[in-house]
Amino acid sequence: MSADDLHTLTGAYVLDALDTVEERDAVEEHLLHCAACAQEVRELSETAARLGLAVAEPAGPALRAEVLRRIADVRQLPPVTTPVGLPSRGGGVLRRLPRWALAASLAGVVALAGVAGLEYRRAEEAGLRAARAEAQAEAVAAVLAAPDARVATTRLADGAVGTLVHSPSLDQAVFAAAGMPTPPAGKVYQLWYDDGGTMRPAGLMDPDAETSTTLLAGPANRSAGIGITVEPDGGSPSPTSAPVATMTMPEA
């Protein structure tokens, strides 16, 4: 890993989003000799802490009991054992198996192949989701760590808290919300840039999460603020309802 690579990993390091322990060790060694990256890590850590505090909420009293209940319900996987009568390389055991046992063994092989293929596809999809999440985390980290990052926090409807971070140099913004009520079935919260009264789509919030952080899509500098509306699942090209919350872009 080159020094140029290490310079780009400070955001992922602060958010604990590095892939391996080796990468983390390499970054920590690099920070001992690179004052610029060390300063960037300090500033990013402070900004991330402010953002986290702005949307933090205490865990409910039933959380511990729920965790313990689920642990008790999860069964440990049985040990893997080798069935008696598996075919040897010479095929002698297979010849001694009854026809029904041979058929069952072949059917089992076919079924296992299907399961293996399904698990491979699932793993591949999970890898793509992880890569997208990592790219999103790095982009969010870059906005939070920007030297010109501006932060504004306000109370939204129903007691929710919203935090908006804008970096003019990156022309990007991040919105974090905590305590948002669950949208109606088939609906989602959609974010919009307010371009002088014209609302421009800026992304969707996670409908299943009370606390979420979203990198707004598109350039942020020409916008006076943002709005949040309730839209059909998948979002809309333009708002179909009145905003449930608005925020102006934070000032320097």
pLDDT for 129:
63
For the chain, percent of residues with pLDDT exceeding 70: 62
**Same domain as 203, residue 133:** no
11, exposed or middle or buried, with CB in 10 Å at 0-12, 13-18, 19+? buried
Reference 27, options 41, 43, 13, 16; nearest CA is: 13
**Same domain as 211, residue 154:** yes
C-alpha pair distances (Å), 79 with each of 73, 75, 76, 82, 177: 18, 12, 9, 10, 44
152, exposed or middle or buried, with CB in 10 Å at 0-12, 13-18, 19+? middle
**Same domain as 220, residue 162:** yes
Highest mean pLDDT among 74-83, 128-137, 162-171: 162-171
27 within 8 A of 13, measured Cβ to Cβ: yes
**Same domain as 114, residue 200:** no
pLDDT higher than 70, residue 178: yes
Mean pLDDT of the chain: 75
**Same domain as 171, residue 107:** no
pLDDT of 79-91, one tens digit each? 555 444 444 444 4
* 61 inside domain: no
Stretch among 71-75, 149-153, 177-181, 246-250 having the lowest mean pLDDT = 71-75
* 65 inside domain: no
What type of residue sits at position 180? M
* 28 inside domain: yes
- Count of domains observed in the chain: 2
pTM of the model: 0.53
pLDDT higher than 50, residue 56: yes
pLDDT of 9-42, one tens digit each? 777 777 777 778 888 888 888 888 888 888 877 7
| Confidence at 52, pLDDT banded by 50, 70, 90 | low
pLDDT for 120:
52
d(C-alpha 11, C-alpha 235), whole Å: 30
**Same domain as 7, residue 129:** yes
Q: In this predicted model, which residue has the larger pLDDT, 197 or 4? A: 197
**Same domain as 177, residue 132:** no
| Domain range enclosing 228 | 150-248
* 158 inside domain: yes
* 76 inside domain: no
**Same domain as 134, residue 184:** no
* 51 inside domain: yes
Boundary-marking domain end, from 145, 173, 204: 145
* 189 inside domain: yes
**Same domain as 184, residue 132:** no
pLDDT for 141:
83
Stretch among 72-86, 130-144, 209-223 having the lowest mean pLDDT = 72-86
Q: In this predicted model, which residue has the larger pLDDT, 205 or 96? A: 205
**Same domain as 114, residue 207:** no
In degrees, rounded to 5, the angle at the alpha carbon of residue 71 between the alpha carbons of residues 65 and 74 is 140
